[in-house]
Structure 1
């Protein structure tokens, strides 16, 4: 298996993995434990990805080698996760609680993978929750109070939840007018909620609403869709650090 194939190909997930974590880190007091936790976070994602692909392909693929290609990356990433994660848990035992809270979401994602329904809307929305919750974990690791991070956490949920809907309206549901209406309606609600959290978020979420309403059906390349999301994710990060 080529090394490049060890990296999960769900490119849209990287911003969701990084932005809440970085926001929580700098809303609190950054320190060396954040570097270790971020490494564990990425290793956990890579491990989960390859495990779920292994299980999915064992059930759905007629090619026995298809599933086995994911076994070595899973074992490698999982081993590295254990080697880094155990010492971190030893010095920050409360992280075990965060791990326990994340496990049900992992279980749901794994169930969808087993059913070969990874692209289902519910599965995408479920994945958003623990990713955004890393903002709270990173904030707590830096000595901040969880209550202080709730507004920023909510803003991340609104943004990345809306992104799941928007991307589907651009690709898999691009001919579904009802889904487009659902996406636009949710973005309208997100704009209102985000503005209530902080007026500084209004500009970002207004832009998100415009792209959700105007870009579907215009035949944009997937790469272009991704680049737009990278830019908006960067604006989200800046907005969170200024607003909260």
Structure 2
């Protein structure tokens, strides 16, 4: 099986998985224990991705080989994620409770996959929540308090939730005036909300508003859109680490 079939080509997802986790890690005290937890987190994402593709294709594909090609990656990634996860959770049982909190959102994503509606707006928003929640988990693992992680986690949630409608205005819904208006309205509201969390967040969220208002309709290539989002994610990470 080729590498492309094992690793999903979803650049935005990797930023969403990494930035909150890294923010929580460095807002607390980075420890070696963060490494197996990060491995479990990323491998778990890969396992769930392939399981959901199997679920989707089992229902819609006429080719029995199509869903079957996701079985092996799901088992391999799932087994590895379980191994690293149990290694992390053995001395810290509270991690199992944190994992359970993500289950309802994974269930929502699985239902959308089964319905072959993975690109639905609510499906994207459901995926954002547990990803941003990992900031709290990584921070707590590093000795920080749950309370200290609420504001930076909300900042991540505000940003990554906004990427869902914004990216649609750049690619799949680039001709939709309704999506464009909704995206700009959301980003307009996000600026004061982010500033309420920390005044330092006002500037990057104002930039996010400008990119949501000015970039759609300019015919940017998908690679350029992805590069802009990676840059925006790194800016968010830097400001969150500096502000909190």
TM-score under structure 1 normalisation? 0.99
Aligned to 1:186: 186
Helix, strand or coil: the match of 1:91?
A: coil
Deviation (angstroms), 1:172: 1.2
Helix, strand or coil: the match of 1:92?
A: coil
Deviation (angstroms), 1:11: 1.8
Deviation (angstroms), 1:157: 0.5
Within the alignment, does 1:141 sit opposite 2:141 as a pair? Answer: yes
Helix, strand or coil: the match of 2:8?
A: coil
Helix, strand or coil: the match of 1:12?
A: helix
1:51-75 residue CA offsets vs partner (Å, 9 max, x unmatched): 0001100101111101011111011
Within the alignment, does 1:168 sit opposite 2:172 as a pair? Answer: no
Aligned to 1:56: 56
Aligned to 1:19: 19
User: In 2, Cα distance between the equivalents of 1:195 and 1:8?
Assistant: 35
Write out the 4+ residue segments of structure 1 that deviate beyond 4 Å after TM superposition. Answer: none
User: In 1, Cα distance between the equivalents of 2:181 and 2:14?
Assistant: 27
Deviation (angstroms), 1:33: 0.8
Deviation (angstroms), 1:4: 3.0
User: In 2, Cα distance between the equivalents of 1:89 and 1:228?
Assistant: 36
User: In 1, Cα distance between the equivalents of 2:14 and 2:3?
Assistant: 18
User: In 2, Cα distance between the equivalents of 1:82 and 1:233?
Assistant: 28
Aligned to 1:74: 74
Deviation (angstroms), 1:86: 1.4
Gaps of 5+ in 2: none
Aligned to 1:46: 46
User: In 2, Cα distance between the equivalents of 1:153 and 1:194?
Assistant: 11
Within the alignment, does 1:110 sit opposite 2:110 as a pair? Answer: yes
Helix, strand or coil: the match of 1:32?
A: coil
Aligned to 1:96: 96
User: In 2, Cα distance between the equivalents of 1:86 and 1:97?
Assistant: 12
Deviation (angstroms), 1:3: 2.4
Deviation (angstroms), 1:89: 1.3
Helix, strand or coil: the match of 2:172?
A: coil
Show the 5 A alignment for 1:151-162: 151-162=151-162
Deviation (angstroms), 1:127: 0.3
Q: Is the CA contact 2:36–2:87 (under 8 Å) kept in the aligned structure 1?
A: no
Deviation (angstroms), 1:199: 1.0
Aligned to 1:150: 150
Deviation (angstroms), 1:97: 0.8
Deviation (angstroms), 1:87: 2.0
Helix, strand or coil: the match of 1:41?
A: helix
User: In 2, Cα distance between the equivalents of 1:85 and 1:193?
Assistant: 34
Helix, strand or coil: the match of 1:62?
A: coil
